[in-house]
Amino acid sequence: MPLLLEKILSKTKYAWAILRQLSGDDAYERYVNHHSLCHSDEPLLSRSAFFKGWQEKKWHGIKRCC
């Protein structure tokens, strides 16, 4: 594979990873990694249970500036 094409693919993969992190699309994968490192003795949430809790945490509670 030509060097220029490898550089373009590398930068594209990096940009895609940043976009996934900013949008929250990789949140479950990050949760699984953290859970396996720090909480391996506790049960792992399913993908749907994780996102349900994530959405509730995001949209419920006090949301004000003062």
- Contacts of residue 32, defined as CB under 8 A and 6 or more positions apart, other chains included, come to 44
Cβ–Cβ under 8 Å, residues 45 and 53: yes
Give the span between the Cα atoms of 40 and 5, in whole angstroms: 40
Report if pTM > 0.85. no
One pLDDT digit (tens) per residue for the chain, 66 residues: 689 999 999 999 999 999 999 988 899 999 999 999 999 899 999 999 999 998 888 888 776 766
Give the pLDDT of residue 60: 83
Give the pLDDT of residue 66: 61
